[in-house]
A and B are shown apart, each in its own frame.
Chain A
Amino acid sequence: MLEIKNLHARVEDREILKGIDLQVPAGELHAIMGPNGSGKSTLSYVLAGREGYEVTEGTVQFEGRDLLEMEPDERAAAGVFLAFQYPIEIPGVATMTFLRHAANAQRKARGEAELSTPDFMRLVREKADLLDISMDMLKRSVNVGFSGGEKKRNEILQMAVLDPKLAVLDETDSGLDIDALRIVADGVNALRGPDRTMLVITHYQRLLNYIIPDRVHVMLDGRIVRSGGKELALELEETGYTDFAESAA
């Protein structure tokens, strides 16, 4: 269960989150929809613990633990995963090496034994096949020279390998053609389950044709202005965000 209460956050001097209240029970997938600049990405970075995003008020708890007190790597070890809207390129670090370090660091932090190299390779290969990711891609430096679609698939691969309890997907659909979108959506759906909490952030309703949410929240100007079932996304598609801004005002 993810529980966000009255969350306020700012970047430099600008307040961007102005009192977010949100609960996502374990096993559910919620979507947050909103226009550009509504604070969706800020919320995802605050959850992941990025520097420069200052929380001024409110709390975030995941499975009863205070996320805001934890370093980014501690949050990851506690099961938090953010699929980046713009995955970062890391020249000189092979994707496979990166995955192995991440998986083993998390296991170590949880007091679990590290995976043997063959076991780990098998795991990655199995997940990579489902996402149509080649071994060649895994040997290349993280995201370097990857197409937009490859970068997004790589995010989903990381999620599949790291097996998080809370997954936050930030605009995972942006820049994807329909085939790539389907692969990514299949990857996300395969990970849904009673032990996993998921938060899908998107601007467009399109993704939600493939990933059916349990709940939809509309975010405007740093607040959740309306929540509803999956049909809310369709309604939003028809009316646009402007009507919501008016009804929220």
Chain B
Amino acid sequence: MNMALKRVKTEAETALERQFAGRVETGEPDWLAARRRQAFERLAAAGLPNRRVEAWRFTDLRRHMGAAFPPAGRAAAEAVSKIPGDNPFGALESARIVLVNGFPRFDLSDLDRLPEGITVRSLDEAVRGKDGKLEEMLGRALGDDGGTIAALNGAFAEDGVVIRIAEETRIETPVHLMFVNDAREPVSSHTRNLILVGAGARVSLIESHVGSGGYQASALSEMLIGEGAEVDHVKLQDQSPAATHLDLMAVRLGASSALRTFTLAKGAALARSELRVTFDGPRGTLDASGALLARGTQHLDATLFVDHAVPECTSRQLYKSVLDGAARGVFQGRILVRPHAQKTDGRQSSRALLLSERAEMDSKPQLEIFADDVQCAHGSTTGKLDEEPLFYLRARGIPKKEAESLLVIAFIAEALEQVQDEKVRAALQRIGEGWLAGREA
């Protein structure tokens, strides 16, 4: 007799099962349909994670997701006649690729501004094409089990973009992926993207996740970076205050390639951003930095996993969190150094600034080192604004709130400085200043 306790399903879990069962067949290839089923089965078996699941210890998704909203559907996305909302990088020269509720809207995008050497297609189109490689490429960076976000997204995502950057191409104009959510009623959106960066290529990618209304958004992006390629990546998570946002970026870095990625998270009621990076070849470098700005009852989670699978790679993680009101910030950073990954240099730092007595930060560094000739370090601090600099600024005539803003900008500056492109950095700084201007006195 099977005595295992059967877990009681939550309303959201039951709804997800119902939604999956009720999916309209889209005639996708068998391999994709099979993966979709597997993803759903993983999700159904594990359920939504609660805090007893170690990886979600500080972010109780099961409790937060009281309901699972139905997928928004392609028709609604195609009915939109112009890009909803403002472009947070409006002042920046870029080629925009617009997705509404997870579906590409190339007619609203700047495809004509895309430079030579870069192609953008819809994922749905790409998987139906004759490109057999796609079956092999999709899921490669992710591996077999990407966890809850990968399972949820894998079960429900219908579309997204496939971006290819040809070998040895230098893309000067940033490519801006605008993920826009337009929720007139509670819906979910799921986007799946694949970014292939050819050997020796250079590209600057910006992602913004924005929207209006109450919705649940998931985004799963995989990036395969070829040998010697360099990628600058910036992500802005500025979802609507009622939104739930889950995203996962999985990256494989080829030999001597470099990824610089910066995340500014300030939106959503609850958000979790995961980054998983695997070094595929020696001498790869990763700079992963970010800033979390949260207030009210917001809950923002940054979870990073860096897999030093090969020797001589360097990784840096630098996160700054600023928490006001009763907000909660989470930083989880795991560095795995596998047995043969000698000469690994892995560093991680998470610093949090609490602007209120009720704000809370949970920081969990995890170093797992199985090689002996490595340099690894981590540091984590949480504190308040220092009184002395604050008084010094005020004694020079700067009002308290403005003085605090200056000190907060100074606090996140170290992370922001990782962004190489000055114009992008200035745009991010303005967004940070805008957040500070919205503080209650």
B93 to nearest A CB, angstroms?
24
Of the candidates A71, A77, A105, which one forms a contact with B402 in the assembled complex, judged by CB atoms under 8 Å apart? A105
Q: Assuming A88-B388, A88-B389, is B406 touching A93 (CB within 8 A)?
A: yes
Cross-chain contact B402 with A92 (CB below 8 angstroms): no
Q: Interface digits, A45-58 against B, CB 8 Å rule (1 contact, 0 not)?
A: 00011110000000
Chain B residues near A89 (CB-CB < 8 A): 389
Q: Which residue in chain B gives the minimum CB-CB distance to A103? A: B397
Cross-chain contact A72 with B391 (CB below 8 angstroms): yes
Chain A residues near B402 (CB-CB < 8 A): 101, 105
Query: Between A and B, how many residue pairs show CB distances below 8 Å?
Result: 81
Assign chain B's interface to a size class: 20 to 34
A201 to B393, CA, bound (A): 21
Q: Assuming A90-B410, A105-B399, is B394 touching A72 (CB within 8 A)?
A: yes
A97 to B413, CA, bound (A): 14
Cross-chain contact A87 with B395 (CB below 8 angstroms): no
Cross-chain contact A76 with B391 (CB below 8 angstroms): no
B414 contacts partner chain A, Cβ-Cβ < 8 Å: yes
A77 to B398, CA, bound (A): 9
Q: Assuming A51-B387, A92-B409, A93-B407, is B398 touching A73 (CB within 8 A)?
A: yes
Chain A residues near B406 (CB-CB < 8 A): 93, 97-98, 101
Q: Interface digits, B60-78 against A, CB 8 Å rule (1 contact, 0 not)?
A: 0000000000000000000
Q: Assuming A50-B391, A51-B391, A88-B389, is B414 touching A98 (CB within 8 A)?
A: no
Chain A CB count within 10 A is highest, among B396, B402, B403, B407, for B396
Chain A residues near B396 (CB-CB < 8 A): 73, 76, 81, 98, 102, 105-106, 158, 162
Of the candidates B389, B392, B397, B410, which one forms a contact with A105 in the assembled complex, judged by CB atoms under 8 Å apart? B397
Cross-chain contact A73 with B397 (CB below 8 angstroms): yes
A109 contacts partner chain B, Cβ-Cβ < 8 Å: yes
Cross-chain contact A105 with B398 (CB below 8 angstroms): yes
Q: Which residue in chain A gives the minimum CB-CB distance to B406? A: A93
Of the candidates B387, B392, B393, B410, which one forms a contact with A87 in the assembled complex, judged by CB atoms under 8 Å apart? B392
Q: Assuming A84-B392, A88-B389, is B397 touching A77 (CB within 8 A)?
A: yes
Cross-chain contact A102 with B398 (CB below 8 angstroms): yes
Q: Assuming A51-B387, A101-B406, is B414 touching A109 (CB within 8 A)?
A: no
B305 contacts partner chain A, Cβ-Cβ < 8 Å: no
A162 to B391, CA, bound (A): 17
B400 contacts partner chain A, Cβ-Cβ < 8 Å: yes
Chain B residues near A90 (CB-CB < 8 A): 389, 392-393, 407, 410
Within 8 A of A (CB), among B396-441: 396-400, 402-403, 406-407, 409-411, 413-414
A106 to B403, CA, bound (A): 13
Within 8 A of B (CB), among A62-89: 71-73, 75-77, 81-82, 84, 87-89
Cross-chain contact B395 with A49 (CB below 8 angstroms): yes
A91 contacts partner chain B, Cβ-Cβ < 8 Å: yes
Q: Which residue in chain A gives the minimum CB-CB distance to B396? A: A102
Chain A residues near B389 (CB-CB < 8 A): 88-90
Cross-chain contact B410 with A73 (CB below 8 angstroms): no
Q: A: which residues have CB within 8 A of B?
A: 48-51, 71-73, 75-77, 81-82, 84, 87-93, 97-98, 101-103, 105-106, 109, 141-142, 158, 162
Closest 8 CB pairs of A and B: A92-B410, A76-B397, A102-B396, A106-B397, A88-B392, A72-B394, A92-B413, A73-B394
Instruction: Return 23 A-B CB contacts under 8 Å, by A number.
Output: A49-B394, A49-B395, A71-B399, A71-B400, A73-B397, A73-B400, A73-B403, A76-B395, A76-B396, A76-B397, A84-B395, A87-B392, A88-B389, A88-B391, A90-B392, A90-B393, A92-B413, A93-B406, A101-B406, A102-B398, A105-B399, A141-B410, A162-B396
Q: A73-B395, A73-B400, A162-B397 are in contact. List 9 more A-B contacts (CB 8 A).
A: A77-B397, A81-B396, A88-B391, A90-B410, A101-B398, A102-B397, A106-B397, A109-B397, A109-B399
